[in-house]
């Protein structure tokens, strides 16, 4: 979607055009799920957070000052909702309710490389996990990620480089442990 067409959709949505907002939702929903997943590490909760973000955005779209900043604004709403959900889950654990947090499978005996990489990604800090998910699971370009996060493409490149380096180091440590007698 070009910036101009997105700006037109945002402008129409601000005027109450539900169809325009619906098209924006369809376009950005996968990225919102990835952002929420990077915080929550739970697909169902991430989908809930993305849907809640879209509801908040629909309600508050009139507050958006710059139509060209719709995507970073929407991403920030989603990230804040996901962070609030993480805090709520932490409070629930502290008071002794059932823990519904993401269980990371230990891969010491597991030989499946894909499962090991998924485990490593799940253990990354939320920002690094988010950038990996947006790039490799959602197939977003550096430009799309930059627009979504409201940063430069160079910043995206640096974040991806650091995340890949962490993954590579962890894989190397896992491989060296498997080869030890």
For the chain, the domains span 1-103, 104-181
pLDDT at 1: 56
**pLDDT digit string, tens, across residues 121-152:** 888 888 888 899 888 888 889 998 998 888 99
Question: Quick check: helix, strand or coil at residue 99?
Answer: coil
What topology is assigned to 104-181 in CATH? Arc Repressor Mutant, subunit A (1.10.10)
**pLDDT digit string, tens, across residues 38-90:** 999 889 999 999 999 999 999 999 899 888 889 999 999 999 999 999 888 88
Q: Rounded mean pLDDT of the chain?
A: 83
Instruction: Please enumerate in sequence order all residues whose Cβ is within 8 A of that of 96, keeping only pairs 6 or more positions apart, or say none.
Output: none
In the predicted structure, residue 109 carries a pLDDT above the cut 90:
no
The helix (H) or strand (E) run that includes residue 116 is helix 113-123
CATH of the domain spanning 1-103 = 1.10.1740.10
Reference 37, options 126, 106, 120, 116; nearest CA is: 126
pLDDT at 172: 81
pLDDT at 106: 43
pLDDT at 96: 55
Locate 27 and state its tokens.
């376009």
Locate 152 and state its tokens.
């430069």
């Amino acid at each position: 979607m070009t910036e101009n067409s997105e700006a037109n959709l945002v402008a129409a949505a601000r005027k109450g055009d539900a169809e325009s907002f619906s098209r924006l939702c369809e376009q950005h929903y996968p990225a919102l799920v990835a952002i929420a997943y990077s915080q929550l590490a739970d697909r169902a909760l991430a989908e809930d957070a993305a849907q809640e973000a879209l509801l908040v955005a629909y309600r508050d779209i009139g507050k958006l000052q710059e139509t060209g900043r719709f995507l970073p604004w929407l991403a920030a709403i989603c990230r804040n909702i996901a962070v609030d959900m993480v805090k709520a889950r932490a409070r629930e654990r502290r008071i002794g309710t059932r823990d519904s947090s993401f269980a990371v499978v230990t891969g010491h005996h597991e030989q499946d490389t894909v499962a090991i990489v998924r485990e490593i990604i799940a253990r990354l800090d939320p920002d690094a996990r988010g950038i990996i998910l947006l790039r490799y699971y959602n197939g977003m370009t550096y430009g799309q990620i930059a627009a979504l996060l409201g940063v430069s493409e160079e910043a995206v490149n640096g974040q991806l480089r650091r995340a890949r380096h962490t993954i590579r180091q962890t894989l190397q440590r896992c491989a060296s442990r498997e080869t030890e007698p």
